[in-house]
Amino acid sequence: MKLQRTPLLLLLTALVLGGIVAIREGQKVSQPPAPETTTQPLFSFKEEAVIALTITQANQTLRFEKVPAAQAAKPTSAPSPTPPPAGAPTTASSPAAVLPSPTPIAKTLVWQMTQPQKKLAEEAAIAFLLNQMASGQSQQSLTIPATQKAEFGLDQPLATIQVELTNQKQHRLVLGKPNFNRSGLYAQIDPPTQPTTEITIHVVPIDLENAVTRPLKEWQIKPEPTPSPTATSPAPSPKPSP
């Protein structure tokens, strides 16, 4: 009695297909999870709630604090009055010559750099950085073994930014290297203070790179030019009448 070929071929086909499905399912299990692409805010604080800012980089540490405007370091000091030339007539003081009262201070608090120098800070530079942190979005997030930090530039960060809020809370943002197409930076948001076996990294806006990689002078307000004193020539003596 001969076996029918059709049932045998169907059996072999089913076995082959089943093996292929089993292999593919095994590969899916062994592959690492894909990064999540759901966007989410980096932080929940608002810009105006920040009262202190510290930027730590490999070559320097910058520290900024909000201080009363009356106590802030001024970029320049008022020039001393130039004494009148010898022989020039002096004008007696009168109520009309009294200097006007100082202009009221428009702001109660201003940003001042306290490290590495004590100078009035450029508020536009600080506002740009805080805006990126307060309104920026995480493009992706991924949990990786802590031993892989170097692959994302987080073992020697581009910068570590720490902010202090009015409610005494603190937040940290650790910036690593750019991703493959420079659409963002790898970063850690409020990383744990104690070592862990796994860490969560995020892809944050690339504008944060420009926000922290500034020359020192761009963090300081530009001093106003001091007007040079104008030399006064003595009045000509009257000619004698003929």
pLDDT tens-digit profile of 125-184? 999 999 999 999 999 999 999 999 999 999 999 999 999 999 999 999 999 999 999 999
Alpha-helix runs per DSSP H in 89-182:
123-135
- Rounded (5°) CA angle 216-222-224: 155
Kindly state the percentage of the chain with pLDDT values over 70: 62
**Residues near 12 by beta carbon (within 8 Å), at least 6 away in sequence:** none
Category of 159 on φ-ψ map: left (φ > 0), alpha (ψ -120 to 50) or beta: beta
- 21 — pLDDT class (breaks 50, 70, 90): low
Number of residues written out for the chain? 242
Give 87-125 pLDDT, tens digit per residue: 555 544 444 444 444 444 346 899 999 999 999 999 999
Q: How far apart are CA 122 and CA 124, in angstroms?
A: 6
Residue, of 191 and 73, whose pLDDT is higher: 191
Kindly state the percentage of the chain with pLDDT values over 90: 57
Q: How far apart are CA 129 and CA 111, in angstroms?
A: 13
pLDDT of residue 222: 78
